[in-house]
Structure formats: C-alpha cells, structure tokens
Amino acid sequence: MVKRVIIVGAVALGPKVACRLRRLDPEIQITVVDRDNLISYGGCGIPYYVGGDIADIEGLCSTSSHVVRDPEFFRTCKGVKIMPGVEAMGINRKEKKLDIQHLSDGRKESLEYDKLVIATGATPFRPPIPGADLPMVFTVSNLHNAKDIKDKISKGHVGKAVVIGAGAIGIEMAEALTDLWGVETTIIEMADQVLPTALGKNMSKVVENQLEKHGVKVMLSEKVECINGDADSQVTSVETSNGTMECDMVVLSAGVRPNTKFAADSGLAVGLSGALLVDRCMKTTDPDIYAGGDCVELRNLVSGENMTMPLGSLANRQGRIIANNIHGRASQFNGTVGTFCIKVFDMGVATAGLTSDQAKANGFDPVHAIVSQPDRAHFYPSAQLMFIKLIADSKTRKILGIEAVGGQDDAIKARVDAIAPLLQLGLNVDDVCVLETGYAPPFASAMDIINNAGNALDNILENLNKPIDVIDFVEAFKNDEIKVLDVREPKEAEPFVEKYRDRWMNIPQSELRERFNEVSRTDPVCLVCGTGARSYECQTLFVHNGFTNTINVQGGHAMISIIDPEFI
C-alpha cells in the first residue's frame, strides 16, 4: 500500500501530481522537495513578465483567483507538504530512500518513500565559450533570473542586447526586450534559419521577416566564439565567426538539458538526450519511481522515435496520469506530436508533427504543399493572410506535419490544433480534404485554408499540381534558369513585367484558354499568381494541352514577397 509519496521538483508537474493525488486519496503522505524557494510558477510566462505584459512576478506564481501558491497555500488548501530549499542528492532504491540536502545549512537527511516522482525539469544549456559566466549573461531558467533581467533593463542599464539561439525562448525574449524597452536586440543563431526544430526554412522566412520588421536583427549561420567583458566584468560584446556585436547584456537560449544526474546515478535508464526513459504510465525503469515533464523522453507519435518536448502543457497532462497510476488507476500518456506555438509580435506561429527535414531523417519521403489564403471569408473585414504548409509521406499519404503562420494568433492555433489529432491517429491527406471545422464568415472561408492545404497536397501527390518550392523558385529565377508566366490581371502583373522584361510574361487567366499557344513548350515556365491557386488552375490547362514544362510556384506572390522582399 502506498503511504508516502515524495516528489522532487515543485514547478509544474510536481505540484500537479501532488494536488491530483490528494484529491484522490485523503490519507497518503505527500511531500514535494525543491531546490528553490519560489515554487509552482508559470515559467513560460517569464518573457511576458520581462516584456511588461505581466507587471509583477507574483502574477506568475498566483492562482487565477490571485492567491499566491507558496508552501502555506499548499499546506492549507491542498494538504501537501512542500520542502523548499532542498536538493535531491541521490536515491537509495533498494531501501527506497531519497537522500536530500538542506541548502540553507548543508544538513543532510534521507526521506523514505513508497513511490517517488522525479519532476526536476531541465536547465538552460550554457555553452562552454569564454565569457559565458559573466554576470550580465543570463539564461531564462527561473524567476530569480527573470527578476534580474527585468531589474537591469528597467534601470536603463541595457541599450543593446544579444540573444544567442533563435528557438522559442530566444524569440520571445527578443520580443520582450525590443517591444517594451526599446533595447536594440540581435538574435544570433547557428542554423541557417530561425525556429530550426519547428519550421521548414521556407516558413521560417515569414518569422524572420516579422522579427526584422519589428526591429530585431537576425544573424543566421553564425557561431558565437566568445563573450567579452570589461574590467568591471560588464559585458561589452559578442564575437562570432563573422564579426563582433557590441552589447550590454546577453541572453542564452541555446536549448535545455534535463536535470537527471542524481536519478541517472542511481541506475535509472536515460535516453540519448540524457532524459529519463518512461513507459506509457510514466514509470521509469524502477517500478516505484515515476518521472515526467522536461526531464523525460516522450514518444513522438509521428516518427515513433523518442524526443524531449519541454512544455508546461505536456507536463501538466502527465502529472495527472502519474497521480492516477500511483493511486492504482491505470492511466496512459502515449506520447506527443510536438504541437508548438509562439507569438512573434503581432503574428502567430504554430506547428505539429515533423518538419520535412525531420521526416526525411526518419525515413519518410515527405511531400508538402504551401497554401496562402485569408484566415476567414475573404470578404470579411478582419480577414488576414495566413500561410499553411502541410507535409505528407508520398507513399502512404499519411500526414506528417503542419506549419502555420499568420496575423491572428488564435486563428493559427485553431488550424494546427484541428490537425494534431489526425497526426496522433496516423490519418492521411484525404482526411484533411474533408476535415470538418467550424464555419461562418467571421471565422473561416467556406473552404477553409486547412482543407485547401489538403486539396493542394492531394493534387501534388496525384501529379495534377506540379509545384516548385518558393525558395527554389526565387533562387532559380535569380540564377536566370527559368521564366515566369504571371496569370494575374495586367494591373497586378505590370510592375513585374516592367522590372523583369522578357523573363516575366503576363497572360491573365481569363485569356489563357485563347492564348496558351503563346507560351514556350520547351523551356521551363513557372506559373505565378497571387497565392498559387489560379496558377495551379492554369497549369491544368497547360497539361491538358500537352505542355510538360510548367511549374507552379507554391503560395504564389504572397510567399515570394516574403522569401525575398526585394523581389518587388
């Protein structure tokens, strides 16, 4: 019988396990230990605290009814004992004891458990470069750091900042520094794109442009070599392979590492990432020890491979599963499709599943469609352009991933959240074509962008739509390898025809049935319209008339102007 449960970690998953377990069982002894004194906080809210959307740090550690979630709150309201300022040092699995040390006075003791839960999370990675330990080099790991960063900025100590790493936290922090405080901010990223684990390069360009548009400088394919400080240990600049960036503050956002040393030392199995391995009941390789949140590997339900997915949302869902299992109710967490979203100034970005590169690395043969379309009925006044990339396996037609970017956050989320269940269940392109989603003009087009992404991908898989990715198009056009037939109305095409002359021809769709023979049947011809829909329709006309040389530019001019704003 389970009498004593010890939980290591009191940020997200730990408190969730504790509270759910107490609701299930009045008798069980529940103790949560944590290194920190600040517990049970919304760590994902830190960029919004720094950026001023949330005025006080208390906002992040209070309930929705404004009660601070401190040890006293857990004792009185939740019936849970919190031991703050306590570090877990090791696990004596044979005797079922957790060895701890009180950080205030160095005192050590052992706590007996019937079930142990490891909820130690992850720590931001501090790259081993000179200067990474200077005081003005911050990670975004806890509320203490968050306070320090905001304190320095609000006192006017920071004119220029460098953010190292263009993942979610790097981008959120860049927005926070720029938007409220006007700090001149540069993001430096090793990869050749922003959000490299979440987006394909084509879609990442939309985000890159958005950052630049809002004053954030983005430097890609650059490796940071050192961070320089002055005699007072103040940061002065960041040196990369390509040059030197002056700055007063550095934010490191180069990924996280799971906090699993004491657990791994006790012999619990860890994966390649260093995170703990758990089964679907969130049980480690020791039947009396559970783990969840940022310190475990989860099964990617699309690839079948293990991955880490450090998100408070997944941690909370897993917490309930762990409590159920400890209470004796079989309950499973099968894995993740990696659903992700981020606000980038006034733009929303959401993704789920694999990128094309990740799909290839996992043995799939990914094919994608990119569709640009208003997020609601095009005649509805608040409609804004949205871009969706849908990826499927060419052999099985199984959906592998979705990437969505556009102006209205929740509209982006709605599309990705509707596809995520299909990814979890291994459904295919045809299911996306007929997917039923909420429709009224203020919410969607009659044929929603999701369905049209499915339709476009179906057409590509069926070889009806012969596309070129917009990045490849822009490169090939610049290299003078292809000509363009613009099928928009003359007034839309005119500036392009003027700029590019004989390489940019215009026959509006309405005249194409009469005039298609004006087009070469031998040289490759890229068909362009506003979004890729009319040009696809024109391509079917060419194919029906025996042309084999037309290529449809995916996403049309809407995408071209994002990949290369200079294009026109």
Site for a second copy in 408-467 (CB under 8 A): 408-411, 413-418, 420-422, 424-425, 430, 433-444, 446-448, 451, 455, 464
When the beta carbons of 62 and 185 are compared against a second copy, the nearer one is 62
When the beta carbons of 160 and 415 are compared against a second copy, the nearer one is 415
Candidates 177-185, 253-261, 329-337, 354-362: pick the segment binding a second copy (CB under 8 A): 329-337
Q: Which two tokens stand for residue 332?
A: 């499973």
Span 151-190, contacts to a second copy by CB under 8 A: 168, 172
Rounded to the nearest angstrom, the gap between the alpha carbon of residue 528 and the centroid of all alpha carbons in its chain is: 31
Candidates 45-53, 85-93, 131-139, 388-396: pick the segment binding a second copy (CB under 8 A): 45-53
Candidates 198-206, 241-249, 305-313, 470-478: pick the segment binding a second copy (CB under 8 A): 305-313
> Min. distance of Cβ 284 from a second copy in angstroms?
19
Residue 496, CA atoms < 13 Å, CB-side half-sphere? 26
Instruction: Please pick, from the candidates 342, 391, 405, 493, the single residue that binds a second copy as defined by CB under 8 A.
Output: 342
Rg over CA atoms, the chain:
27
Instruction: Please pick, from the candidates 32, 198, 321, 525, the single residue that binds a second copy as defined by CB under 8 A.
Output: 321
> Min. distance of Cβ 477 from a second copy in angstroms?
22
540 binds a second copy (CB under 8 A): yes
348 binds a second copy (CB under 8 A): yes
Span 253-272, contacts to a second copy by CB under 8 A: none
Is 371:456 a contact under the CB 8 Å cutoff? Answer: yes
Sheet containing 243-246: give its strands across: 224-229, 235-240, 243-246
CA angle 350, 322, 26 (to 5 degrees): 130
Instruction: Please pick, from the candidates 129, 377, 471, 476, the single residue that binds a second copy as defined by CB under 8 A.
Output: 377
When the beta carbons of 15 and 229 are compared against a second copy, the nearer one is 15
Identity at 276, one-letter amino acid code? L
Span 120-149, contacts to a second copy by CB under 8 A: none
Number of residues forming the site for a second copy (CB under 8 A): 108
Instruction: Please pick, from the candidates 4, 37, 48, 89, the single residue that binds a second copy as defined by CB under 8 A.
Output: 48
* Tokens 């940071």 sit on residue: 224
- Sequence-separated (6 or more) residues with CB below 8 Å from residue 531: 371, 372, 373, 555, 556, 557, 558
Nearest to 557, CA basis, from 512, 504, 521: 504
Instruction: Please pick, from the candidates 8, 10, 12, 282, the single residue that binds a second copy as defined by CB under 8 A.
Output: 12
Q: Distance (Å, rounded) from C-alpha 453 to C-alpha 443?
A: 17
When the beta carbons of 237 and 308 are compared against a second copy, the nearer one is 308
When the beta carbons of 137 and 416 are compared against a second copy, the nearer one is 416
Instruction: Please pick, from the candidates 64, 463, 479, 522, the single residue that binds a second copy as defined by CB under 8 A.
Output: 64
β-strand pairing of 224-229 with 235-240: antiparallel
Is 505:485 a contact under the CB 8 Å cutoff? Answer: yes
Q: Which two tokens stand for residue 326?
A: 């400890």
3-class secondary structure for 87-128?
EEEEEECCCCEEEEEECCCCCEEEEECCEEEECCCEEECCCC
At 185, is the secondary structure helix, strand, or coil? strand
305 binds a second copy (CB under 8 A): no
Q: How far is the CA of 86 from the CAs of 35, 74, 101, 491, in angstroms?
A: 5, 17, 6, 70
Q: Distance (Å, rounded) from C-alpha 409 to C-alpha 421?
A: 20
Nearest to 462, CA basis, from 513, 392, 403, 531: 392
When the beta carbons of 180 and 264 are compared against a second copy, the nearer one is 180
Instruction: Please pick, from the candidates 337, 449, 453, 507, the single residue that binds a second copy as defined by CB under 8 A.
Output: 337
Candidates 186-194, 206-214, 373-381, 386-394: pick the segment binding a second copy (CB under 8 A): 373-381
Candidates 143-151, 235-243, 360-368, 372-380: pick the segment binding a second copy (CB under 8 A): 372-380
* Tokens 């590997």 sit on residue: 297
When the beta carbons of 247 and 337 are compared against a second copy, the nearer one is 337
When the beta carbons of 156 and 381 are compared against a second copy, the nearer one is 381
Instruction: Please pick, from the candidates 511, 523, 548, 568, the single residue that binds a second copy as defined by CB under 8 A.
Output: 511
Q: Distance (Å, rounded) from C-alpha 110 to C-alpha 42?
A: 30
Burial of residue 243, with CB atoms counted within 10 A of its CB: 0-12 exposed, 13-18 middle, 19 or more buried: exposed
Furthest-apart CA atoms within the chain: distance in Å:
89
When the beta carbons of 158 and 416 are compared against a second copy, the nearer one is 416
541 binds a second copy (CB under 8 A): yes
> Min. distance of Cβ 334 from a second copy in angstroms?
7
When the beta carbons of 240 and 455 are compared against a second copy, the nearer one is 455
Is 531:488 a contact under the CB 8 Å cutoff? Answer: no
Candidates 32-40, 218-226, 347-355, 493-501: pick the segment binding a second copy (CB under 8 A): 347-355
308 binds a second copy (CB under 8 A): no
Candidates 248-256, 263-271, 477-485, 526-534: pick the segment binding a second copy (CB under 8 A): 526-534
336 binds a second copy (CB under 8 A): yes
480 Ramachandran zone, left/alpha/beta (phi>0; psi -120 to 50): left
Nearest to 162, CA basis, from 185, 128, 193, 192: 185
Nearest to 2, CA basis, from 42, 40, 30: 30
79 binds a second copy (CB under 8 A): yes
DSSP assignment, residue 277? P
Is 539:492 a contact under the CB 8 Å cutoff? Answer: no
Backbone angles phi, psi at 67, to 5 degrees: -100, 130
> Min. distance of Cβ 109 from a second copy in angstroms?
26
407 binds a second copy (CB under 8 A): no
380 binds a second copy (CB under 8 A): yes
Backbone angles phi, psi at 244, to 5 degrees: -125, 135
Candidates 257-265, 281-289, 496-504, 530-538: pick the segment binding a second copy (CB under 8 A): 530-538
When the beta carbons of 463 and 479 are compared against a second copy, the nearer one is 463
> Min. distance of Cβ 261 from a second copy in angstroms?
26
